[in-house]
Structure 1
Amino acid sequence: MLLRDAREHLKDPEHQQVILSLLDRIRQQVTGLFQAAYDAGAIRSDIPINVLVGLYMGMLREAKSLPGTRPATSLVSVLFDGIARQAE
């Protein structure tokens, strides 16, 4: 969120390049984490890694507007448990 806010306010090309580089490094790290989980058999194999990364990164971008005091908990729950009602 900090990088998104910085990108909106720091308009010169040099700062924009630094911000884009940092965002790319974050995406690479997230991709590595998802790939490791995939390789370990911990996550579904029917959804491509790049789709999972895109969904995760999108959720992070929107986390600022989530209500409540613990948006990270909600993000992790949706990511790992989905949105379907849990069987009782």
Structure 2
Amino acid sequence: MGRKRAFTEEELLDKAEMLIIQHGYSGFHLKLLASHLPGARSTIYQYYANKEEIAAACMKKAMVRALIKAGYVDETDPIEALKQLLRVYMEEADLHYFLGDARKIDVSQSKKAEQNVGEVLAMLKHLRGQLDLLFDRAQKQGTIRSDLPISVMAGLFFQLINTPNTLQLPPHEWADYLFTLWYEGSGAY
């Protein structure tokens, strides 16, 4: 009969996600993770073979969370949908940092990590497609400028996530504030 695990896979991934956010992918290692979990370090290996597998699994979990939330966005009005998506992205702002590290994962170390990173990148492509369709619809409706490339507007839109909340507003209010600035611009009328 096997020994009882000191923590669940879910607990391991939650702790790993927190540590990757705090220390970055480069600063994350199994010894650090083990120091934040009960029980022996060897228990980690009952779930994952290495750092790459854990990081890729964390990224996938975070991406699935964002994809589910983005799937609930009502896309009837493209501008309102973009506003709702910004709220989702702000709630999942840590995902943005994860994605910056996705290409750092040495997928040659593990087929499992390679598969998870591939799935993360495919889900990111799906989210980007959702944005592109909303931008395209908004341009066709005349609710956003049609003289600017969608890729530029979407890139700027994504960068809103990195804007420090200097006003200390609740996340939804901060997202709405930034959306208004992005949508209406900062120039005089």
Q: Considering the TM-score relative to the shorter chain, is it more than 0.5?
A: yes
- Determine if the alignment matches structure 1 residue 80 to structure 2 residue 183: yes
> Letter of the aligned partner of 2:95 in structure 1?
L
5 Å-filtered alignment, 1:1-88, equals 1-7=93-99, 8=101, 11=105, 12-60=113-161, 62-63=162-163, 65-67=164-166, 68=168, 69=170, 70-85=173-188
> Letter of the aligned partner of 1:30 in structure 2?
L
Q: 1:5 to 1:18 in 2, by over 3 A?
A: farther
Q: In the aligned structure 1, how far is the partner of 2:128 from the partner of 2:157? A: 10
Q: In the aligned structure 1, how far is the partner of 2:152 from the partner of 2:96? A: 21
Deviations 1:19-73 (A, max 9, x none): 211111111101100100101111112211121111112223x15x323222211
Q: In the aligned structure 2, how far is the partner of 1:55 from the partner of 1:39? A: 20
> Letter of the aligned partner of 2:178 in structure 1?
L
What is the identity percentage for the equivalent residue pairs of Structure 1 and Structure 2? 25
Q: In the aligned structure 1, how far is the partner of 2:97 from the partner of 2:145? A: 33
TM-score for the superposition, normalised by structure 2: 0.38
> Letter of the aligned partner of 1:66 in structure 2?
N
Q: In the aligned structure 2, how far is the partner of 1:56 from the partner of 1:40? A: 19
Q: What's the offset of the Cα at 1:13? A: 2.3
- CA-based RMSD: 2.2
Q: Which residue of 1 aligns with 2:33?
A: none
Q: In the aligned structure 2, how far is the partner of 1:17 from the partner of 1:54? A: 22
Structure whose CA Rg is larger:
2
Q: 1:4 to 1:14 in 2, by over 3 A?
A: farther
Q: 1:59, 1:75 within 8 Å by CA — same for their partners in 2?
A: yes
